[in-house]
Amino acid sequence: MRSNRKQNHYAFAILASLFFSLTASAAWTPPDKEHKRINVIEVDVENGEKVYGELCAGCHSLEAWGSEDGEYPQIAGQHKSVLLKQVLDIRHKRRLNPPMDLIVAKNNLPDQDLADVVTYISLLPLSTDGGKGNGHLVERGKRIFQQNCAVCHGPAAQGNDDFAYPKLQSQQYAYLLRQLKHVKTGERHVPVAMSAIVKKLKEKDLYAITDYLSRIKPPKAQNASLAHMANIMAQFSNAAEEEKVIEWTPLGKEANKILALKADIKAGEALYKNVCAACHGAQGWGVTSGQYPQLAGQHKQVIVKQVLDMRHKFRINPFMDEIVKPKTLGGDQGLINVASYIESLPMSTHNGVGDARQLKMGEQLFSKNCSSCHGTNGEGLAAAAFPRLQAQHFNYLTRQLDNVRANKRIVPTAMIDALKTLSQAEATAVADYLSRTVPPQEKVSTDGGTLNILNQINLFLQDL
């Protein structure tokens, strides 16, 4: 509450018209049109160097390494799109940083100079000698970061230029800590998927993570691999196995109660954009790499059941641990709202597919073994919460099938049995066939759902 009051006060003092963007309800926003426009301006790096020396070096240091006490962050080597987003956010008071207000005002830093200076800074080598913590909790920090944060910031904390996700490697310890504390109090806006986790962490965990991050040296090859994500999933799945997980159950009382509620689609849309879009994309189309499934057009019964299963740890999905809590979703009503909104979304048919080598075989095997539940064309069965599989990303489908085979995802025994009659190659053929099945015309987006950067916000794993 205290911070809200402070922010509101600030808003009135500066410009009444900014009030709404500064209240507690102000949310994180992804890179906007202005960002996109300036990001592609042809740059003059030499001018960037000049601008940097005149306007930025005084605080951020000549090398852009910031200060060891963390008052000034290291900005050298940060992704250009991140630098640009932060400067624009500061300029438009979406991020409050009064010391920079006059410096980044448009009349002081025209678009061309801005494009030049952020490009210049992004090309500077970063220092690994900045401020660090006491080193006691680094292992703990690593564990928490890899489980909760790497999904967006990358396993090596390398961030993502396409989606303006900050690189956190070798950042000043005290600066990182301050940002996380500001996330906790709501003074700094980040995606809900991040703030929900940070708000849950204890002070000690924040020390641990930031100390870990301050010590990460940028690796030579900064490519985040899907295999790494799979490993994290596997660790969690193994933990679940030890608890001796039980048999699949159909839609139960809890789900049916929620499904009986009247949905508010508008509220569902707001929740989706606030919480789910960061991973599943603004349109619900997921990513072609299959890291995030397409949700658009899925039966609401399936969405509700999957979310509840995740909540009760019946389906293991560490990436959504915080998301599926009633608090994040706004209780039962929030869940039916968002599930109904997702069901209404037009689907993309430009999803990730397999190599097309055994499609005939895939079709035959599907129709013989799977269509009794998933429908003749993979449309699923809403009433029973049998998932629609049409136009789902190939890699997502194969991951689910592998998980079922390895007893890491619980499905009806009849499906397990059906799957066990198939060889690995045959299962892959079925997944390939399914990834190419086309939903009914009226469910498909009019442009076929071209996946582009604007509708995929969080995609460091996307195979561009």
Span 151-210, contacts to ligand HEC by CB under 6 A: 151-153, 165-166, 168, 176, 178-180, 190-191, 193-194, 197-198, 209
Rounded to a whole number of angstroms, the minimum distance from the CB of residue 441 to ligand HEC is: 22
What does the alpha-carbon distance between residue 314 and residue 307 come to, in Å, rounded to a whole number?
Answer: 10
The helix, strand and coil proportions of the chain, stated in percent and rounded to the nearest 5, come to 55, 0, 45
- Tell which positions 93-152 bind ligand HEC, by CB under 6 A: 97, 99-100, 103-104, 109, 117, 145, 148-149, 151-152
* CA atoms of 57 and 250, how far apart (whole Å): 62
Position among 76, 174, 287, 295 found at the interface with ligand HEC (CB under 6 A)? 295
Nearest-approach distance from CB 200 to ligand HEC, in angstroms: 9
429 touches 365 (CB < 8 A) = yes
Residues 208-247 that bind ligand HEC (CB under 6 A): 209
Number of residues that bind ligand HEC (CB under 6 A): 85
Element (H, E) at 433: helix 424-435
How many Cβ atoms are within 10 Å of 228's Cβ, its own excluded? Answer: 16
Nearest to 23 by CA among 90, 86, 98, 93: 93
In the list 278, 296, 308, 347, the residue contacting ligand HEC (rule: CB under 6 A) is 278
Residue 333: closest CA among 266, 286, 252, 249: 266
370 is an interface residue for ligand HEC by CB under 6 A: yes
Among residues 16 and 231, whose Cβ is nearest to ligand HEC?
231
- Please report, as residue ranges, which positions from 434 to 463 form the binding site for ligand HEC (by CB under 6 A): 458
Q: How far is the CB of 334 from ligand HEC (least distance, A)?
A: 8
Q: Judged by CB under 6 A, which stretch of 2-10, 237-245, 293-301, 443-451 contacts ligand HEC?
A: 293-301
Query: Among residue numbers 31 through 70, which ones bind ligand HEC (CB under 6 A)?
Result: 55-56, 58-60
Site for ligand HEC in 385-424 (CB under 6 A): 386-387, 389, 397, 399-401, 411-412, 414-415, 418-419, 422
CB of 303 to ligand HEC, least distance (A): 5
Dist CA 200 CA 174 (whole Å):
20
Region of 412 on the Ramachandran plot (φ > 0 left; ψ -120 to 50 alpha; else beta):
beta
Query: Which of 58, 125 has the CB closer to ligand HEC?
Result: 58
Cβ pair 259, 303 in contact under 8 A:
no
Between the alpha carbon of residue 254 and those of residues 22, 305, 315, 381, 391, the distances in Å are 38, 9, 16, 19, 29
Q: Which own/partner contact pairs does 60-65 have at CB distance under 8 Å and 24+ positions apart?
A: 63/124, 63/127, 64/121, 64/124, 65/126, 65/127, 65/129, 65/130
Please state the closest distance from residue 349 (CB atom) to ligand HEC, in A: 16
Q: Which residue, 18 or 382, is less far from ligand HEC as judged by CB?
A: 382
To which residue do tokens 């059906």 refer?
Answer: 418
Nearer to ligand HEC, 16 or 51 (CB): 51
Does residue 311 interact with ligand HEC by CB under 6 A? no
